[in-house]
A and B are shown apart, each in its own frame.
Chain A
């Protein structure tokens, strides 16, 4: 039942998070307007790698080529993965639990061996290279700080392994600690630090030996919400300051939207879409992505006419909808229309919108900055409209008859799986 919007409070909180993440995203983009995010977002037609930071697949910093992985010999946990990561990029693997993100990361780190295909680092295959030779920093969700060493010893570990002298180790450890604002904590043991501090130590340790690439597997998963948001920005800033390439795994979409240059949405061992955050939100390529990223109204229908970039979709018992033909190939096929709640207009002026339907208000939830209204429309009674709490907000009562409408560009006809 992927199509329905969950109306629990939980989901509302999620939606709220997402809004905030988007706001943060905007501000980050404003500060760093030249980043790939902004540039790529305008290049709407571009799909997959080869844009923005990358000049071509050959120069990809990390390249997954036809990678498959199975643990038991029966089911592929990672299916035919092709992914290019550019030098200096912040790439996030986002997806539900069990979608193969960690497995992909572990293959890159060298702890799992691809069943098929190969992984290239700086154009050289690393399939036969043991993990400790790969020079890849790693941050684990469980921090994985060595409990029998002090914070300083933890940070010195990768430097000692590399046989650096004391004179070199000490200042580097000190600098790394200061970078994560833990200057005075060097002599402590990990157990004497809070979760957030431990996470920062783990981060510092993964960076202290100047790795080319840093992998992070749900590093903030164990932190509370406020700390998580603070750390997101901190990691983001470290990434910008150091220019290191980061591959980040999370199942938290707002985290992915906040931090990433590009997001690879995983499901079922397949990358469903690879795009910058804004594009992912605004131009999802399939129903899974539309549903997974942000809040989404889905209407089930059948394609009755194709017209170049747009199509006409018949909703049984309600009428036809004009939509962008994104992921439909032929007339007569079932499709799912995806429509963001904030793009639905309430009582539009007749004639201004191609898609207008009469609806009945089922539920009104006041959320401060906006009002969520659940309406029955086109035979779906889980259709949500988000109305900003601005001047001229009409107070709706449950049971009221209204009309709702939306533009063709805001309505995307996607695969109906």
Chain B
């Protein structure tokens, strides 16, 4: 039997069929790979590398290590219990002199200012003064120049700088920071804004997702069941927002919802309200505008799933004795779940990253994580914080996706 099988598994030219198959397969794979190569390179260079870089920036910061090499080296032996000894001060004086000469004090000052707000300018001024020091002992001299150099928390910070990696940015992003002795402590209230911000981001995203579901599901149902004549028209109305710029739509909401906007004037005119309602630059405006923008993203996957549900299913349920609502709820609705899951997931994940809309129609307390990332990137040039917030957002999204996948199963989802 075995020999026969082996004999059969050879082509006419005596080459084993398995080898031939492998060769053909390899050629096929190679061709497929060549086809996707440009996109692969594009994604790698334009997407994967920057994101990797960003994730890296969230924990990597070698400012102090490179700009204050002597001090950080001298501190590696420091136990942190008391102020360091003269040799560390000598190294510090040397580093400050060099930084002053190389005009690098700004970067050092900025880095120190992140963790110890208000000290940045003092670092710069003391560096200017330290550059005139010519001989030791440096310890009293530096403390004399600025009491800053006699502070435990400053030295702890410099010692942490001896590692190129820091958890500072990530800790800040969840409202923790380092105390005077490098212990992890909760951020003081004026700094503890991020946890709220994440919760707000989550809350707005959930709210918008729920709103798009409530508004979108009935429309999707109508679209899927109406005769083509009407459903085409309705479909155009649904996807129309897709063809308008996001900015234009957001501004349109400003026009509609502002104090003396169309909606307020109408409600006043109908005597439904006596005072103009505050509909914009707050949470209401943010949710309304985002819901409008996200509606098609939720609706279309649901619609495409509904389109595949045979009408005979509900008919069968009716003939089996189910009333119209029961048939809908037990037979039709469960079959739309993959679409609902896909639509909500899409909208929810997109919402997490919203930035322009909350910035334009939201108040200061409606800014989401995207706004903060933009703020740190564009205004403060604090790449560490921007990266840390971005990394947390990305991780949270992936975790959510994972959980969702476990609960619902992404393979059951239909994206249209």
Contact = CB atoms under 8 A, between A and B. Distances in A.
Q: Please determine whether chains A and B interact with each other in the same assembly.
A: yes
A147 B312 CA distance: 12
Nearest to A217: B312
Nearest to B319: A138
B306 to A, nearest CB: 14
A148 B335 contact: yes
A144 B313 contact: yes
Interface in A195-231: 205-206, 209, 215
Given A147-B335, A161-B326, A140 B316 contact: yes
A162 B321 contact: yes
B312 A205 contact: no
A357 interface: no
Interface in B332-350: 334-335, 337
A131 B319 CA distance: 6
Contacts of A205: 316, 320
A144 B326 CA distance: 16
A135 B334 contact: no
A209 B319 CA distance: 11
Contact of B321 (A109, A111, A147, A161): A161
Count chain B CB atoms within 10 A of each CB in A110, A132, A134 and give the residue with the most.
A132
Contact of A132 (B312, B313, B322, B337): B322
Interface size range of chain A in the complex = 20 to 34
A136 interface: yes
A264 to B, nearest CB: 21
A221 B316 CA distance: 17
A145 B326 CA distance: 16
B315 A146 contact: no
Contacts of A206: 319-320
Contacts of B315: 109, 111, 131, 138, 140, 144
Nearest to B313: A144
Interface residues of B, number: 20
A65 interface: no
A309 to B, nearest CB: 46
Nearest to A134: B319
B315 to A, nearest CB: 6
A207 to B, nearest CB: 11
B74 interface: no
Count chain A CB atoms within 10 A of each CB in B317, B326, B327 and give the residue with the most.
B317
Contacts of A209: 320-321
B322 A138 contact: no
A142 interface: yes
Nearest to B318: A131
Chain A to chain B: the 10 pairs with minimum beta-carbon distance, closest first: A144-B316, A158-B320, A138-B319, A144-B312, A161-B321, A131-B318, A148-B334, A140-B312, A132-B318, A161-B322
Given A110-B318, A132-B321, A146-B331, 7 more contacts: A130-B323, A131-B318, A136-B319, A144-B312, A144-B315, A146-B316, A206-B319
